[in-house]
Structure 1
């Protein structure tokens, strides 16, 4: 997997991704800390609003932006997105009210909604061989998981020596490094085709996603991934609080580390695994594991037998499940979608996957608050199982072995 970094252009793009991920991770921590500083009593409402803005921008903006930018230089688009994120992050150093924070988050996520699918679309051009592309996807997943493990302690160290708002300046520096790395990558082609009318360009991603078997299959299973992340991000703190009364910081960290390690383990073994079984089989297995694990966790929570050690083991399994569904999925787009439609389809998938989050996050939080965490887990398990069944029986997928 590491050998792929010998490709100079991909190495530069990967450096851009890592810089961007670390910056985004620090930004997430900074937003939570600043929310507490601004209004401790309403911090949870501020954070929830920020998360809602993030999801809404991703769902709405990504396809529109890709359609508007069709025919533009991919490298210029990526650099411009990083520049906007840098400027907004630095401006947030002076934030004094929640509404300023919300406006900044909206602008940051708007730029990210442009950057992420544009970045995803250029990788198949840089790495045309499927084996290399698979290695790149595994490496990308590894970067995501390591960032989730590294960013919180890094932020904790930084706030010991700088004010909380100064984290935004550090975040801005990360986006500068990302832009510099994109410059080093050289020419990256154009963002899709520009010969069609805007209205057609706006819908081409969703239409292609809906009618192409592999990407459609992946979009359905994104629902199972969303149930996993809703559990991890929304319910973990509640479940560890019930399992280990007292300060939740240490048990919460243990659960999140277990989730990250499970995801990393699958990502590291994916190349060898996909030489033996199909992409579709791996992804279906991940969805089935997600549904079964959520159901088992619900049963333990309902019977009050869910211990901290059980949570750590279960979260390890959820990490494996999420990585099994997500990591191979981009190969379908690369394999089945024409190159000039990559940007539009990646943008459409970026939008539809976050639409799943817009469903599962409030379901997890709302059902847990109105009924119980166990009831929320049952509901999420049902959604994951429905996605697994929908992607198993009626769909034909080009899930060939490599």
Structure 2
């Protein structure tokens, strides 16, 4: 059970630090919208849209740069420093009086977040080396993110009944400060030095692993499926409830809660399923679920009247939440399986950037195309993108995907120490069998002919 994880003191502290930071971020999401409206009035949506674009661009560009030096920094001090920076930024937000200042502070805040998240993700498997415990930790992280989505807006609404929204920024700062204090008290092993090449080599190591590993190329397609369906939830829920269903703010909360409920149920159920069948079937089933959810949403968008639409919308939003959880929860397990410990920060950073690149593509479609052409055309377009994503995943991630691969090394192409337990085949080749990942001595994935010859 997930609760058994909390017997690990270091994991418990890190998990609590994550929850504290998540709830602080959730309060900022509400407060930032109100601040934008205070400064820009009717142009608040444009302000928030620009801020969101800045966030995605920062996530895509900053995370790989951080990963290039992550193994050279003391990870505990690095995580604490990033929390302190985030707390300082949100404390400054209530005092600004110009829109451009929002953009600058959001850029700084999201830069710190883009550095924090992949570093934090790479620490967890070092603290929980057991595969089953790590799988359960992934579900716990997904559950924490879901609960933040559900509870932070309600907490903010309750607070706003008695205080100004400016005080929400203080609550956020407290969340980051508590997170920093918990990290200080956690034993976090520093990463061993990975790639010792040039800056360009270090910054691209995660991308190189992605490009060369078939299952990770499949993951790129799944990232697009999640972004296509998730953009409907993140961008279109408010307008769909208010303008199409004629609902209130509480109606918006109901649909978002349905999405979170679907996510939570699947995240809780997945650890046992993953132990039995592995990540690929689960994640592809999640992708199919998201495409089905988008298809149901298209049908729903063509309906012009009927109280039944509420029940149907709740079911569709919950279905999309469950599909998203089926993809997102095992992602860390797939990344861990595909890298050496020393390269893991770079690979997590690459996933962080590449997944947000997909959102950078789908967010504008969900927002701008809906305004121009309506929900049906937008959701059809996003379904096409999701279809492309699931096709890529099916083609790139082979059904037979063993961890241990017998392959050939050509004499003189790798360090001699690597071949200490290899068998000499002929004058030019060694046969080697081990858990295969892309690294300095294995720069490409062995082809079928090579593995057949090695066997």
Q: Is the 8 A contact 1:217 1:397 kept in 2?
A: no
**What is the alpha-carbon distance in structure 1 between the residues aligned to residue 68 and residue 221 of structure 2?**
23
Ranges in structure 2 where 5+ consecutive residues have no aligned partner: 404-455
**What is the alpha-carbon distance in structure 2 between the residues aligned to residue 191 and residue 48 of structure 1?**
40
Pairing 1:249–2:249 present: yes
Q: From the two aligned structures, give the one with the greater helix fraction.
A: 1
Aligned to 2:292: 292
Residues 43 and 254 (structure 1), Cα distance of their counterparts in 2 relative to 1, 3 Å cut: same
Aligned to 1:130: 131
**What is the alpha-carbon distance in structure 2 between the residues aligned to residue 238 and residue 32 of structure 1?**
16
Aligned to 1:83: 84
Task: Select 1:365's aligned residue among 361, 364, 367.
Answer: 367
- Tell me the CA shift for residue 340 of structure 1: 0.4
Q: Is the 8 A contact 1:251 1:308 kept in 2?
A: no
Larger radius of gyration between Structure 1 and Structure 2: 2
Return 61-70 or 291-300, whichever deviates more: 61-70
Which TM-score applies when normalising by structure 2? 0.85
Ranges in structure 1 where 5+ consecutive residues have no aligned partner: none
Q: Is the 8 A contact 2:301 2:376 kept in 1?
A: yes
Aligned to 1:348: 350
Which TM-score applies when normalising by structure 1? 0.96
**What is the alpha-carbon distance in structure 1 between the residues aligned to residue 210 and residue 74 of structure 2?**
23
Residues 191 and 152 (structure 1), Cα distance of their counterparts in 2 relative to 1, 3 Å cut: farther
Return 139-148 or 304-313, whichever deviates more: 304-313
What does the per-residue CA deviation read over 1:314-362, in whole Å, with 9 as the maximum and x for residues that have no partner?
A: 0010000000011001101111211001100100110000000010011
**What is the alpha-carbon distance in structure 2 between the residues aligned to residue 191 and residue 321 of structure 1?**
36
- Tell me the CA shift for residue 394 of structure 1: 3.7
Aligned to 1:302: 302
What does the per-residue CA deviation read over 1:127-163, in whole Å, with 9 as the maximum and x for residues that have no partner?
A: 1111000000000000000000110011112223332
Aligned to 1:334: 336
Query: Secondary structure of the equivalent of 2:330?
Result: coil
**What is the alpha-carbon distance in structure 2 between the residues aligned to residue 341 and residue 65 of structure 1?**
13
**What is the alpha-carbon distance in structure 2 between the residues aligned to residue 339 and residue 50 of structure 1?**
35
- Tell me the CA shift for residue 192 of structure 1: 5.4
**What is the alpha-carbon distance in structure 2 between the residues aligned to residue 270 and residue 205 of structure 1?**
27
Q: How does 1:2-401 map to 2 (within 5 A)?
A: 2-190=3-191, 193=194, 195-245=196-246, 247-304=247-304, 307-396=309-398
**What is the alpha-carbon distance in structure 2 between the residues aligned to residue 43 and residue 17 of structure 1?**
30
**What is the alpha-carbon distance in structure 2 between the residues aligned to residue 151 and residue 160 of structure 1?**
14
Higher relative contact order (CA 8 A, sep 6+): 1
Q: Is the 8 A contact 1:240 1:308 kept in 2?
A: no
**What is the alpha-carbon distance in structure 1 between the residues aligned to residue 402 and residue 29 of structure 2?**
38
**What is the alpha-carbon distance in structure 2 between the residues aligned to residue 168 and residue 217 of structure 1?**
39
**What is the alpha-carbon distance in structure 2 between the residues aligned to residue 242 and residue 94 of structure 1?**
34
- Tell me the CA shift for residue 217 of structure 1: 2.1
